[in-house]
Structures are given as C-alpha cells and as structure tokens.
Amino acid sequence: MLTRKITSAIIGLTLMAGVAKAQETETIYSSKPEPRPMKTIIKNDKGFGGHLSLNAKGTQVYDEAAVLVGGELVFTLSHALNIGLAGYGMPSRIEWENPNDILFSEYYLEMGYGGFFIEPVFFDQEVVHFTVPILIGGGWSGLSDQRYFDDSAYPYRILDETAFFVFEPGINAEINLARNVKFTLGGTYRMVSGTDLRDISDSDLSGFTLSAGVRVGWF
C-alpha cells in the first residue's frame, strides 16, 4: 500500500514538472526578439503628413506699405520637413505716376509670386517651436490702369509688365493650438531679381515681411 502511494506521488510530480517545463519552453519561444536599432536620415517611426496654410504678410513694395495674402500646400516628412508649393498675391496696389501719359497719368503697381516651398521643422512636439521656410520660384509684376475696378467705358490697360525670379527665406515661430491646427508668426526677406519694369528696380520689389498664418492638416 505504501509502495503504491509513493509510486503515485512520483508520477504526479513527474507530470507537474513536465507541464511546467512545457510552459517555460512555450514562453521562451513565443517571445519576439527586439529589432536591431538603426539610425536613418528619415525616421520611419513618425510617418508622413501634410497641411494647408493660409497666411497674410505685411511688407513694403516700391517704398510703400503693402499686404500680401496666400498660402502653402505641403507634405510633411517625418514631422521634420515640409515640402510643397506656395504662392502670394498683392491685393493692395501701389500708385505709380506716368509723366509721359497725359490721359492716364496714374497707374498701379501689381505683383504676385510663388514656387517651390521647403521648410525644416525643429522640436515639433513642443507647444512653441520654430521652422525655417524657404520659397524659390518666380513672379509677375505689372503697371495697370487705375480703372481696373471701375464701371467705366475705359478698358483695363497694362502699361508694362515683367516676370522675375524670387528667393524668400525666413524663420517662423509655430504654436500647436490643437492636434490638427497650428498658428505661425514670423518674418521673411523677399529677394527679387530679373525685373524689367520701367523706373522700377529689383530692390523696389524686394523687402522684409512680417507674416501670420493658420495651418490645418495632419501633422
């Protein structure tokens, strides 16, 4: 009788040890090894995004105060680089007098430009961080008749017009208002070259700007 009890106990302990060993083996082989860390130029743990930005800029054109309005449509790579297109127009026109035209002696200077947009982003997870926007492209400027918005019999006329190259770097402070909304405040310097407009030089169309804008998208 004692022998049976001892034998039964040995068998039970053996079975329990086997089950424990099987569970331990299963745990060991079911775990996945951690991926080997690797440094890359574009971090693959952040993915892609994009946004639409609407901006207003205060500047000087032809030594007079002016307003530029426009925006950007960009893709975001790894939350660290915005790449896309940007464009701006000048709804406020600058007066220009033409001494050689007696009938229409007053004209308005108009301007618009746009092109490729690239913007490194730094410390984007902070509530307030900064970016370095750069616009490279071209633009148009012209001298138009003052009756462009009038309901008169005189047709709208362009006295002169030109195309030009523009390079506009700057710096922005960016504020995370919400997960999908950001506010920007900053400044740029617009460098214009290749102007061929009468009595107006490249420096007349170049200048500093102060800008503010709202960005909506997937960051």
Regarding beta strands 158-178 and 134-145, do their DSSP bridges make them parallel or antiparallel, or are they unpaired? Answer: antiparallel
Amino acid 157: pLDDT: 77
**150 has a pLDDT exceeding 60:** no
**42 has a pLDDT exceeding 50:** no
| Residue entry with tokens 């997937």 | 218
**pTM of the prediction?**
0.74
> In this structure, is residue 19 part of a structural domain?
no
Pair 205, 141: CB distance under 8 Å = yes
Number of domain units in the chain: 1
Q: What is the CATH number of the domain that holds 145?
A: 2.40.160.20
Closest to 174 measured CA to CA, from 217, 116, 215, 203? 215
**Please, which pLDDT band fits residue 96 given cuts at 50, 70 and 90?**
confident
> In this structure, is residue 1 part of a structural domain?
no
Amino acid 103: pLDDT: 56
Quote the percentage of the chain above a pLDDT of 70: 70
Mapped onto helix, strand or coil, the DSSP state of residue 50 is strand
Q: Give the H or E element holding residue 3.
A: helix 2-30
Q: Which domain holds residue 99?
A: 48-218
> In this structure, is residue 94 part of a structural domain?
yes
**How confident is the model over 176-205, as a mean pLDDT?**
93
